Amino acid sequence: MAILQALESTPYLNAAILAAVLAAALFLLSPKLENNRLWRATITPLASIIGSGFLVIGPILSTSYGEYAPLVMVGLCLVAYLFGMAIRYNIAQRADASDARGASVQGLEMAASWSLGIAYIISVAYYLNLFGAFGVSLTNVDDPLHAKILTTAVYLLILIVGWTRGFKALEQLEYFSVAGKLAIISGLIVGLIAHFAAAASSGELVANAAKLSGWPALTLAFGLIVTVQGFETSRYLGKEYDSGTRIRSMRLAQWSSTIIYVVYILLVTYAFDNVQVKLTETAIVDMMHIVAPILPGLLVAAALAAQFSAAVADTGGGGGLIAELTAERLSIRQAYGVLVVLGLLLTWSADVFEIISYASRAFAIYYGLQAAIACVEARSNGHHGQSTAYAALAMLGLLIAVFGQAVEG
């Protein structure tokens, strides 16, 4: 109780949060951990899963689903894990298969690659629009126009760097960016635990009423799949890691992110009255103002670093993939240009919540196609039960792509 009372004091809470951030950073940047192969393979999907989604999912779920928000979070993570199972099955099959693969699988692989290329385009828009929103959130020009202007400027910067120098120098900073983001999330969790405990001790925990139910609640959840997206990156680390390491890393990343997300949503759902915070793309910043003065600045710093590094990674990956799919008819530099032009069109024609919905649909198509590949492979291997399960997952991906809805801010 004495510890709790001490943490309720702002200076002590700020100190505890900062200590948690520094301790997590030292741990994550320790040579022993940084050089661990399984951890290095895990950090990419883990950082992707709890990157952008972490910034928006708390306020969205709490506002839309009220006291049922943690159950919805569990559901999102479960669906993502099932799609991850299909992708892990495909990783194992590619490792065991001969060079000759069936025509149907090759066709589905090509379709999946195109869908992933489109998803990259939308996801970069998602990352950079969040970058713009968070970049102006603590300034006196905190409005959609200036957020879009900042997003446009960063798009042009990325295009110039990619066109003239490539992204290798920026990509070398990825691990430090990821470690910093995870360290700040550690501090945020500490602050939320203290806030939750203080609310519980004073009898101020709340059970917010859900705004949505039935079909609208389900279709909104469909539109939020992108917030737990990122585990599929393990599939594309084949040059650095063997199939067994990639499978284990994806599973570890999904379990770890599920624990982090569910704890986070539990703390947010019952310690904040929905009347306190207006639902916007940067609502988490307003919520952190209530918790501790140090958190908004830390959160914005993490958001900017995370969104920029994710945008660079997906621009590089998307540009290379588009160039490959067009058989080099579009060079990588030209593909960067296409990606930026389409991203700017999205930026100026849609808000962040709409882009989240578009990204969810694009990744749902990709996941559905991966499930379809797993279905065909399982059937050819005589695993009829697995084949049926993967067929159902493929249908779920289609349903999400067709019916997913955007948040109404």
The CATH number of whichever domain residue 23 belongs to comes to 1.20.1740.10
- What does the pLDDT average to over 224-230? 88
| Within a domain: 149 | yes
Distance, CA of 185 to CA of 196 (rounded, Å): 16
Burial class (CB in 10 A: 0-12, 13-18, 19+), 82: middle
Q: What phi and psi, each to the nearest 5 degrees, are found at residue 268? A: -75, -40
Rounded CA separation 311/130 (Å) = 11
The per-residue pLDDT for range 323-347, each reduced to its tens digit, is 878 877 888 788 888 888 999 999 9
b/e map 84-97, b = 16+ CB within 10 Å: bbbbbbbbbbbeee
**CB count in 10 Å sphere of residue 235:** 20
Q: Is 270 a domain residue?
A: yes
Asked if residue 62 belongs to a domain, the reply is yes
Q: How far is CA 239 from CA 218, 266, 307, in A?
A: 38, 38, 25
165 is a domain residue: yes
Q: What is d(CA 80, CA 262) in angstroms, rounded to the nearest whole number?
A: 14
CB 80 within 8 A of CB 231: yes
| Closest to 313 (Cα-Cα) out of 165, 149, 158, 183 | 158
* Tokens encoding 128: 């950079």
Structure confidence at residue 83 as a pLDDT band (50, 70, 90):
very high
Query: Is residue 343 assigned to a domain?
Result: yes
Q: Of the spans 92-106, 315-329, 379-393, which averages the highest pLDDT?
A: 379-393
pLDDT, tens digit (0-9, with 9 covering 90-100), for 15-72: 889 999 999 989 988 888 878 888 888 887 887 788 778 888 889 999 999 999 999 9
Give the pTM: 0.88
Q: Which domain holds residue 90?
A: 2-403
CB 223 within 8 A of CB 357: yes
The beta strands (E) that lie in 7-164 are given as none
Q: Is 408 among the domain residues?
A: no
The model's pLDDT over 193-226, given as tens digits with 9 standing for 90+, comes to 998 988 888 888 888 888 988 999 999 999 999 8
Model confidence at 116: pLDDT above 50: yes
Residue 186 lies in a domain: yes
Q: Is the dihedral of CA 127, 231, 77, 218 positive or negative?
A: positive
Residue 409 lies in a domain: no
- Band the pLDDT of 305: cuts 50, 70, 90: confident
CB 79 within 8 A of CB 258: no
Radius of gyration of the chain (CA): 21
Kindly indicate the confidence band of residue 164, based on its pLDDT and cuts at 50, 70 and 90.
Answer: confident
First to last CA, the chain: 39
Return contacts of 385-390, CB within 8 angstroms, 24+ apart: 386/89, 390/86, 390/89
Domain count, the chain: 1
Crossing angle between the packed helical segments 283-291 and 174-201, to the nearest 10 degrees:
60
Among 219, 246, 257, CA closest to 77: 257
> Coil, strand, or helix at residue 328?
coil
| Single-letter code of the amino acid located at 26 | L
